[in-house]
Structure 1
Amino acid sequence: MEKKIIFFLFLIISNFMFSQNFDFERQYKYARTLSSKNPDSSEIVLNIIIDSAVRKNQPNYLAKAYYLKSFNSYLKSDAKGTLDFAEKALKISTENNYSPGKALAYRMQGTQYAKLGLLKESFQSLNKGLSEIKNENTDEGHELKGMIYNSFLILLNQNEYQKKASYSKNAVREFQQIKNIPRRNELLVSAYTNLGYNLSEVKKFDEAQSFFVKALALVGNDNHYLKSNILHDIGFSFSQQKKPDSAVLYYQKALKIASDYGFNEKKIEITKNLEEAYNQLGDIQNVQKYKLKNLELKDSVAYNQKMAVNKTLNQKEENFDRQLIRSHSVSKGLIAACTLLLLILGVVIFKMISLRKKHKKAVAQIYQQGITPVAYEEDPQETEDQSGNNIPADIKISPEAEQHILHGLQTFEGSFDFNHKNISRYNVSNTLNVNTKYLSAVIKKHKSFNFNQYINHLRINYIVDKLKSDPQYRKYKINHLAELTGYSSHSAFSIEFKKITGIHPSAFIKALDSIS
């Protein structure tokens, strides 16, 4: 903690001392380096860059800083932050006609869309990014094109090898044209390793080996993470060749580096593959050993928390014993307090269980019977025309006009236009070529809703159907569901969802998972 404070103060002092001669490129590269090590530290540098870029009118670096903020949010699985910062970078870059900034923003958009399962949108964004820099033949342009080609790989499965090979080779071609040798080699190492891994998947081991050799030749002795990756992927290649002895050798080398430098996520992957390699060798003892290590690593965060809790409870128990010796009355007080806490905890748990049962029952009813329509409510906006005059309660509409409106509403509902943002009586009535009072009267008569109730009911019914029929929707964040149904905010969506279904959307999804 003290180191972080000192680091933060150092950055502030440095910013003050050198504000008249701020090196944007050096600071941006430093922030980019920190992103893959410690996103929080990177954020400190990025905030300084943003402040200086605003004061010194440097929109290009402002856009790049927001791109890195988007990347940091992606590393922390913050989908909303990723897309929000990418949108800021895109807006600034578009206003200033800065193509590399737009390409960076589109790349982050495409990557995040892929994570959300929006594959069509992801392809569109990544292709837009490529089109922005297709004629950019600088180091930055080649780097961006290569990075975007690599981003396409996350959209492809093992059966799409030809496409994967094409994108990987395009990435290598772009990286090879970068003149900055350290940066070029750093990017090529990852690209060659990816190619070797992909080739191993389709049993082209000789070609895979040639790319592993290239990667090893370029990786520096200090680049421990990339070296660990290469050794692991070579081990994977040997495993695919049914050579478990060689696979174990390289996995062990990779594991040593990962263990020495604390690459815990890589250790999880390596120990899992070691378990499989030893299983091929019939070495049951090592299978159990690495299976246990893998489980320990996966649970490392939870395990550390559990150890801290146990330590606290043990200390309390020791204090309790000492207090018990000193004073019987104090011990009674502690026991009473513990009992009270247990009772409170029991009440809380009971209420939570009861609430879950209630939610489950309500969701089961909706799952089987659908949403029960809310009661009609008068809308003051529908009882006055545009001039402020009251609209008569009973409006005479010809049967032909009524049928025209009903047919238009049927088309409106079938095309899901109600999910468009800023939908209103006026633009719907314009689409149907009728006046607003006729539209409201027909909706009231045939749907038993005012206009806003009608739209909200259609939207919530739509998203409930999606949640019921497609489990993928249950993985989306609430703000993404709100966007899909045209709501301006997370809170507006949640309020209407609860008003119509009786349950908050997150509780609805949890209950739905338990019954379907």
Structure 2
Amino acid sequence: MKKIHLIVFTAFPFFFFAQSIKGLHIPDSLKNKSYQYIEEAYNKVFQVDNDKAELFANYILLKGKKENNKDIIFDGYYNIARVKNLKNENGHPYADSLIAASKNVKNYDYPAKSHIIKGILFNNEGRYKEALDEYTIAINHNRTENKEQFFYINKLIAILKTATEEYEEALPLFLKYYEYENDKVKAGNADAKNYIASIFSLANIYTKCKDYKKSTEFADLGLVECKKYNNYSNYSYLLMIKGISLFYLKDLPASYKILQEVEKGLVNNKDYTNLGVLYYYLGKIKHAAHSENEAIEFFKKADSISFMFKTFEPVKRDGYEFLIDYYKKKGDLKNQLKYINNLIYSDSVITINRKNLSKEILKKYDTPLLMKEKVSVIEKLNNQKTWLIAALLFISLLFIFIIRKNRKKIKEYEKQAKVLSEKPLMASVPQKETKIESIAPVIHAETASERKEKAPKSDLSTHPKFKILIEKIEQFEKSKSFLTKNITLDSLSKDFDTNRDYLSKLVNEVKGKNFSQYLNELRINYIVEELKSNEKIRKHTIAAIADDIGYNNAESFTNAFKKITGTLPSYYIKALH
């Protein structure tokens, strides 16, 4: 009977309560129902029908207030803020009320949980620093015995790293969260919702890492588990990930069919952010299949959703490029100008929302080219209205501001590149006075006498394998093995026949940095000297140079070079000519 009541209550909520949340009251038929019963109803429709989920969340809050039960009140505020976040609505008032109400509480979940939801709201708005601050507070409030919450916070930090495009750093955090939830399944203590969410997180991060086979594998696993546990909260999103992965795996028919299935679920959830991304990918599929007119209609839908619901995503950017090129070829100047304006505005919003990202996105239509094309289109349209002139003036001022800002950055890069290029070549075993001051010190093997002078920070030196490992590290540097691709702490520890944690600790204490920093500095210091001494290498592309010294792509090489030297490879090469 309980199941029947729950099904009826979930399917026909409007029979039980008024549609207005403001005038919401708990009906007689539910007054004697337990909090767990209503919470179960909420979880049943969360991410499946978020309007219903919001109504149930309000029920929970009202029930808590009527019963004067703080724990239920807390969960009511949390659940409302959570569902508001998914609907791209303002959940901050509920999160703030929760923080205030649970401030001096010291129970199993709160006040840590109140800062968790505040961080989630900030993350959704692109306010990553504020999100990280809230997660840090949550970690500090987390009770030792609440492992569930601890792993959840780490998952949220991984989501934050995903938003800031630190995909390789996010992956191990998502893996740990999945392993934790999977262990609970094996122990017969499965939390279906969190377990499936952990699978979704892995499928998603593998997509970001461009490992589409892995992504598809975990998406399929998640879809099976949704049916197994009768929990469909993540079903549409797992389908969407699978469809996107199949697009990149060149299976266009299967990708298109799956993504079409997803549309209804996203519309029902009012998840317009992902709906815009969905239309973008449907456009990409049609474009790849040479169905240009159908592709354009999907790109227009993605644009319409962006402006209607203020959801501007970097991934959709080249959809505007297709639209601009399409109308340019057709000689439709009005639509060409419209989508140039829309692209410029989209870029400005993304720049503001993601101002703390260090990555520089390479774009076909960068701002100067867009401005030039925009002016050209406007000149051809002789009868422009006053608002177009005003818009051009605004964009021009914005353009001047961006140019000035970019010039300042370019000057800094050029100055640093010049300093770096004027430093003398280093000897094979660099001396202290010849190290490049503008970058981190060149890593070199320490001599036995140097190691004696440098007292170890712990008892590592007493370990019987200490001397052997030091010699292996010296050989690793001398043989330039660090230029090999896909070196990790795990792979190197296996090569050295040692424990991963021990090798990590040794690198930290002997080299004074973590393994990733150590490897990057070896490679960057090497290429700085090679570029200086070898004119042929300077003629290679940045991508080729990156590949030569062990990086998987030009972007990760450029980021490492900039972080260590304070300039970009291109400016350094230019300074050497």
Q: Which category describes the TM-score, using the shorter chain as reference length?
A: 0.5 to 0.7
CA gap 1:364/1:243 in 2 versus in 1, 3 angstroms: same
Conservation of the 8 A alpha-carbon contact between 2:413 and 2:571? no
Rounded to whole Å, the distance in 2 between the matches of 1:242 and 1:352 is 41
Rounded to whole Å, the distance in 1 between the matches of 2:511 and 2:206 is 40
Rounded to whole Å, the distance in 2 between the matches of 1:256 and 1:465 is 48
- Would you say 1:515 and 2:567 are equivalent positions? no
CA gap 1:178/1:47 in 2 versus in 1, 3 angstroms: farther
Conservation of the 8 A alpha-carbon contact between 1:111 and 1:151? no
Letter in 2 for 1:193: M
Task: Output one character per residue of 1:388-445: Cα deviation in whole Å (capped at 9) or x when no partner.
Answer: xxxxxxxxxxxxxxxxx952756x99xxxx9xxxx96665776699xxxxxxxxxxxx
**Match of residue 245 from structure 1:** 293
In the TM superposition, what is the alpha-carbon distance from 1:142 to its structure 2 partner? 4.2
In the TM superposition, what is the alpha-carbon distance from 1:243 to its structure 2 partner? 1.0
Letter in 2 for 1:28: Y
- Would you say 1:98 and 2:147 are equivalent positions? yes
In the TM superposition, what is the alpha-carbon distance from 1:477 to its structure 2 partner? 13
Conservation of the 8 A alpha-carbon contact between 1:373 and 1:457? no
- SS of 1:189's equivalent in the other structure is helix
In the TM superposition, what is the alpha-carbon distance from 1:24 to its structure 2 partner? 2.1
**Match of residue 311 from structure 2:** 263
- SS of 1:59's equivalent in the other structure is coil
CA gap 1:263/1:458 in 2 versus in 1, 3 angstroms: closer
In the TM superposition, what is the alpha-carbon distance from 1:56 to its structure 2 partner? 3.2
Q: Which runs of 5+ in 1 are unaligned?
A: 1-13, 312-350, 376-404, 434-454, 482-504
Percent same amino acid at aligned positions? 13
Conservation of the 8 A alpha-carbon contact between 2:276 and 2:305? yes
Task: Output one character per residue of 1:250-277: Cα deviation in whole Å (capped at 9) or x when no partner.
Answer: 3333433333333344774542343466
**Match of residue 56 from structure 1:** 105
Conservation of the 8 A alpha-carbon contact between 2:285 and 2:295? yes
Q: If the length of structure 1 is used for normalisation, what is the TM-score?
A: 0.54
**Match of residue 31 from structure 1:** 81
**Match of residue 343 from structure 1:** none
- Would you say 1:148 and 2:201 are equivalent positions? yes
Rounded to whole Å, the distance in 1 between the matches of 2:192 and 2:511 is 53
Task: Output one character per residue of 1:302-347: Cα deviation in whole Å (capped at 9) or x when no partner.
Answer: 8999739969xxxxxxxxxxxxxxxxxxxxxxxxxxxxxxxxxxxx
- Higher share of residues assigned helix: 1
Matches within 5 A, 1:12-411: 21=70, 23-35=73-85, 42=91, 45-72=94-121, 74-75=123-124, 86=135, 89=138, 95-99=144-148, 101-112=149-160, 121-134=169-182, 135=185, 137-157=190-210, 160-176=211-227, 184=232, 187-220=234-267, 223=270, 225=272, 226-265=274-313, 268=317, 270-275=319-324, 283-285=330-332, 288-289=336-337, 292-293=340-341, 295-301=343-349, 307=394, 359-366=416-423, 368-369=425-426, 373=432, 406-407=447-448, 409=450
Conservation of the 8 A alpha-carbon contact between 1:363 and 1:512? no
Q: Which moved more, 1:104-113 or 1:69-78?
A: 69-78
- SS of 2:109's equivalent in the other structure is helix
CA gap 1:240/1:360 in 2 versus in 1, 3 angstroms: closer
CA gap 1:309/1:36 in 2 versus in 1, 3 angstroms: farther
Conservation of the 8 A alpha-carbon contact between 1:197 and 1:237? no
Letter in 2 for 1:245: N
In the TM superposition, what is the alpha-carbon distance from 1:248 to its structure 2 partner? 1.9
Rounded to whole Å, the distance in 2 between the matches of 1:428 and 1:45 is 51
Q: What do you get for the CA RMSD once the two structures are aligned?
A: 5.4
- SS of 1:173's equivalent in the other structure is helix
Which of structures 1 and 2 has the larger relative contact order (alpha carbons within 8 angstroms, sep 6+)?
Answer: 2
Rounded to whole Å, the distance in 2 between the matches of 1:126 and 1:96 is 21
**Match of residue 489 from structure 1:** none
Q: Which runs of 5+ in 2 are unaligned?
A: 1-60, 352-366, 368-390, 399-407, 435-445, 466-508, 528-550
Task: Output one character per residue of 1:467-502: Cα deviation in whole Å (capped at 9) or x when no partner.
Answer: 555874774799xx8xxxxxxxxxxxxxxxxxxxxx
Equivalenced residues, count? 372
Letter in 2 for 1:197: I
Letter in 2 for 1:153: Y
Rounded to whole Å, the distance in 2 between the matches of 1:195 and 1:112 is 22
In the TM superposition, what is the alpha-carbon distance from 1:177 to its structure 2 partner? 5.9
Conservation of the 8 A alpha-carbon contact between 1:67 and 1:86? yes
Task: Output one character per residue of 1:223-263: Cα deviation in whole Å (capped at 9) or x when no partner.
Answer: 26144343333222222221112222333334333333333
Rounded to whole Å, the distance in 1 between the matches of 2:456 and 2:107 is 40
Letter in 2 for 1:149: L
Rounded to whole Å, the distance in 2 between the matches of 1:122 and 1:261 is 28
In the TM superposition, what is the alpha-carbon distance from 1:215 to its structure 2 partner? 1.8
In the TM superposition, what is the alpha-carbon distance from 1:515 to its structure 2 partner? 2.0
**Match of residue 402 from structure 2:** none
